[in-house]
Chains A and B, each alone.
Chain A
């Protein structure tokens, strides 16, 4: 197992290199550069644009820029953001953590609810409960996140619910006790986490239900029942263990989406995460900031897949790595 993990890590290196190469060049291929917005400013002269181009190293050829960036990365330096004029690490540090808090909370909600609901729906196929959950799942699937978030916020204002509608901490945060601070963040977390959580919940519930139904139909379940095992044991010990495998694979993918899946929800609820900043960075071609975001996303994808594979081995004795 250890050699397997080591091998996976070694494999990741050329993979990351290829990803960085591709994203760097694709970003440079699309027309325009970071300085375009400034060129439309009547106060900015051509000379100033040229000076800034030199200062940002944008006058060099694309391969040259890439290798310069790569060299910096190898020294643990993510470069400087054009927009902020400070190291990229400083810009994204707290935001990465914030986005992770939000995504993690959303994952807890999504997985914590969808697995039991999926099992319930599968074991109570076509009953009232199953039908209600199925309809809810489709509503959840089809309602856009930003709209759902706005709807919740609107209801909070309309019915004067004592919940905050923007940000991650309230204005008096700095004067609160540690427990008060924690509760304050939880309150702010509620709306965005529910919005994001229910969005992926719909899909997860459907997959879990399908897998369970499939498993419940198999011969070994009939054997187990024939053997006179208790229903609970049949469902949780036999069917569930077999039905969960594809869910674990999906879980791996979800880890990679920890950083990227929340942009619109973050904007609407004012959660200070990476969301809109990364979108803006890519669109305005703030090269090193955007690259940092892409690379962190890729690393998470690789790690997520690795975790999923390891979890598979743990949960399914038929899978062994050597």
Chain B
């Protein structure tokens, strides 16, 4: 019996030694260390999700319900943006260099980072990721975003921990593309070689097959119910005492498609944090002490709601109603409409008081590029009337607005049905314009129909819609330059129709090729001034990011940009 014990002990010793020696082969040389207070390890975090993921394949994932699961939590990029300052921060690359002429990027990878199955992360994984993105058979928008001057950049491995990327000409937005998520070669190469990459890592995948470098791994997915994410014990971030992060061991994300139910779950104490709707904010605030949580107002989000005029001379309806083109291209007319936007009422009614006015095409949380000094159109029907008069419009005896030919001003205004926020904005805008004597036919229509009118039929009058933005202003390159297919008011122009559109084209060129951030800010400032001045689109109001956070959850810092979980790796739960 004694012999057995000794033998077992020896075996255990040998075994643990062999594990130790295996672990020693890959040593993390460049950990990142948390600067927030030291937390306690352990605990289960519970939060809610609005929808099911559609895929776990981070390269082909298209919409937020999928990216909310995998991005940053399971997969990481070479660089990322800070959740509060929105500035670039090193992630899988510990550092990077950009050559003097701005065409050569060198990334130095963190040495000794491991995938969640223990395999080391190296330059080969980065090269593999670019290979996949470059492959035309892989449906990913990243490929287009990565193109510089119509060419995919050249990339090569210098050594095990260094990658070089060369682009044909200086292109400042390029660094933003390096936030692209890196995937493991050892797991996906075979499938990609066989041409099956698009079928990999769908929702039918065994969770343990999905391997990333992020703080969490996929533990379990129950369709329509929840996703359980488990701590990645190989993660490269460290707590102030030098122990591996994250603190949280299990992260249960309950799927609930109803925001009402999510609110009830939080009230019942089942979840640790909640994205609160404007209408619920005051109710939650009142009960904060009792429920042991606090409220956070993260300020305006990246979501936008704007009104766009059809200024497209190719509008098929112009044959019957050529005057509409004249109205909408009349700057005074557009400014009059801008003055008639009662944004205070919109915030009160559409956003329950928790929203912000937007004046510039750059979203407010974009701390780097926002120009706050653009022309603003505070609500004033007086000013609106003055603009209309200046534009050659007048009123008949019944108070109806007529143009210079005596034609009654009447047009359609639509938005996508089902979005209650936009429907409310539509109604308020239409009411004010009716005050000015216009006849507005305002209706919500089916989303697909609206997209068709906007993008291919070009036969609408005005539409209230929104686009989501990011920090990098060049991500609007399909929207603002006159050749863009999302240049909504007059898309895909061969030659810019107006001088100011030509200037915007120029500014986007310059902004992309300038390398110094100050210089870029200058160009994008001017672009924002032009849009605010010429109002081809009129921005309305943006909802604020509101959160209720349980007091037992520490080290949180929710913002409109990073949302609730951008620093999940250093958040911890007190017992």
Using a CB–CB cutoff of 8 Å, the interface residues on chain A facing chain B are 30-33, 36-48, 51-52, 55, 83-87, 90-91, 94-95, 98, 150, 153-154, 156-157, 165-169, 171, 174, 267-273, 276-277, 283, 285
Chain B residue at minimal CB-CB distance from A171? B252
Cβ contacts under 8 Å, A171 to chain B: 44, 46, 226, 252, 254
> In the assembled complex, which residues on chain A have CB atoms less than 8 Å from the CB atom of B60?
85
B556: chain A residues within 8 A (beta carbon): none
Is there an interface contact between A42 and B448, defined as CB atoms closer than 8 Å? no
Known: A32-B452, A40-B451, A157-B268. A268 touches B260 (CB 8 A): yes
| Residues A84 and B202 in contact in the complex (CB < 8 Å), given A95-B224, A171-B46 | yes
- Shortest Cβ distance from residue B252 to the other chain A in the assembled complex, whole angstroms: 5
Complex alpha-carbon distance, A47 and B63, angstroms: 19
Nearest chain A residue, comparing its CB with the CB of B478: A42
Q: How far is the CA of A33 from the CA of B446 in the complex (A)?
A: 12
Complex contact A167–B264 (CB within 8 A)? no
- Check if A272 sits within 8 Å of B223, measured CB to CB: yes
Note all chain A residues with C-beta closer than 8 A to B160: none
Q: Out of B145, B224, B267, B451, name the residue touching A272 (CB < 8 Å).
A: B224
Within 8 A of A (CB), among B289-324: none
In the complex, whether B204 has a CB less than 8 A from a CB of chain A is: yes
Q: Which residue of A lies closest to B262 (CB)?
A: A166
Say yes or no: A42 contacts B486, CB within 8 Å: yes
CA distance A277 to B252 in the complex (A): 22
B224 contact set on A, CB distance < 8 A:
95, 98, 168, 270-273, 277
Asked if A48 and B143 make an inter-chain contact with CB atoms under 8 angstroms apart, the answer reads: yes
In the bound assembly, the distance between CA atoms of A44 and B282 in angstroms comes to: 39
Question: Roughly how many angstroms separate A285 CA and B451 CA in the complex, as a whole number?
Answer: 14
Assembly CA distance A51 to B136 (angstroms): 9
| Cβ-defined contact, B486 with A40, below 8 A | yes
Contacts of A283 in B (CB 8 A): 447
The docked-state distance in angstroms from the alpha carbon of A171 to that of B254 is: 9
Which residue, A38, A40, A84, A167, has most C-beta atoms of chain B within 10 A? A40
Contact call A32/B258, Cβ cutoff below 8 A? no
- A268 lies within 8 A of B141 (CB): no
Nearest-neighbor residue (CB-CB) of B467 within chain A: A42
- Judge whether B368 is part of the interface by a CB distance below 8 angstroms: no
Contact of A85 among B54, B261, B446 (CB under 8 A): B54
**Distance of A195 from chain B, by nearest CB (Å):** 13
Q: Could you say which of A51, A52, A153 contacts B264, with CB atoms under 8 Å apart?
A: A153
Chain B residues within 8 Å of A168, by CB: 224-225
B199 on the A face (CB < 8 A): yes
Q: Which residues of B contact A271 (CB under 8 A)?
A: 224
User: Per a CB cutoff under 8 Å, which of B52, B145, B264 touches A165?
Assistant: B264
Can you name 23 A-B residue pairings with CB atoms under 8 Å? A32-B447, A32-B452, A36-B452, A40-B455, A42-B476, A43-B475, A44-B141, A45-B485, A46-B485, A48-B141, A84-B203, A85-B54, A85-B55, A85-B198, A150-B260, A166-B261, A171-B44, A171-B254, A267-B258, A269-B261, A270-B257, A270-B258, A272-B224
CB pair B55–A166 under 8 Å, yes or no, is no
Instruction: Tell me whether B225 and A270 are in contact (CB under 8 A).
Output: yes
Contact with A along B442-468 (1 / 0, CB 8 A): 000011110110110000000001010
CA distance A275 to B192 in the complex (A): 35
Please, how many angstroms separate the alpha-carbon atoms of A168 and B255 in the complex? 11
Interface residue from B46, B141, B257, B268 paired with A276 (Cβ < 8 Å)? B257
Contacts of A55 in B (CB 8 A): 139, 198
Option from B141, B199, B261, B465 in Cβ contact (under 8 Å) with A153:
B261
Pick from A153, A268, A272: contact of B222, CB under 8 Å: A272
Asked if A167 meets B475 with Cβ closer than 8 Å, knowing A32-B452, A154-B264, A270-B257, the reply is no
- Known contacts A42-B475, A86-B202, A270-B258; is-contact A52 B139 (Cβ 8 Å): yes
List the B side residues contacting A45 at CB < 8 Å. 141, 144, 478, 485
| Interchain CB contact (< 8 A) of B54 among A43, A84, A157 | A84
